[in-house]
Amino acid sequence: LPDITPAGLSEQWSLSLNSKIRGLVFSRVYRFAFLPLGFCPRLFIRNMHLPNVESKLHWANGQLLEFMGGSSRALLRYNPTTYVLHLQVHGPEADVDSKQYNETIRMLRILVENIETTIEGWYECKVNVVIPCSHCLMEGNYSQWEFALEDCMESIARNQAFVLCRNVRKIRLDVLAPDLSLADLQDLHISFDDIEIGRAIGEGAFGVVCKGIYKGEAVAVKQLADDDYDEEESTEA
């Protein structure tokens, strides 16, 4: 892959910290203690094989992706000096086009899961994940407030609707992290009491997969990573 950022990137990616953003932007920042040279090529190639995702531009340390009909786009940029990977996904607001809004969240979820799966393939990679404030990004602020991924997951688990940017501005969690709050899957929510969760059958850096029973049928239950998770406390299904 070429080392130089493609000249057409600025034209194809309309998102700039110097301008207002029409629509919504979702973001993740992955800060690694160290990252092998082969990580980005592996991730970018995996992205090229995702369904309904097209790689518009790619180079050694970045990739521009388009989802389905072009309503949503994503930009990944990696800094090999600081071992930091940035992901931004840009799409329309829900009140502009609810279908495309849900597709944008879907793209975010697919890419985040692909990044997590790739990270888990490098067993020695330690990573700190933060979520930049969506309001700061939409305002074009150079300095974005950041929320720890674990804090957002805990807030969602406690059914909190908001977090505070700079301890002042309320930021909706379904806007900050719609993939975690399942903002596009409201019609598919079920009661936690209806699920029997059994033993863990798989564990990664960001979650645990357990055996489960839902309405008499065997299912797999993915739980977000929790330091308090104790396999002995679960009942084998």
CA nearest neighbour of 25 among 72, 78, 84, 85: 72
How far is it, in rounded angstroms, from Cα 46 to Cα 44?
5
Q: Check: CB of residue 32 under 8 Å from CB of residue 101.
A: no
Q: Is 170 annotated as a binding residue?
A: no
For residue 66 the two structure tokens come to 């388009």
Q: Which residues pair with 128 in a beta bridge?
A: 31
Q: Which residues pair with 208 in a beta bridge?
A: 203, 223
In the annotated binding site for ATP, the residues are 222
In the annotated binding site, the residues are 222
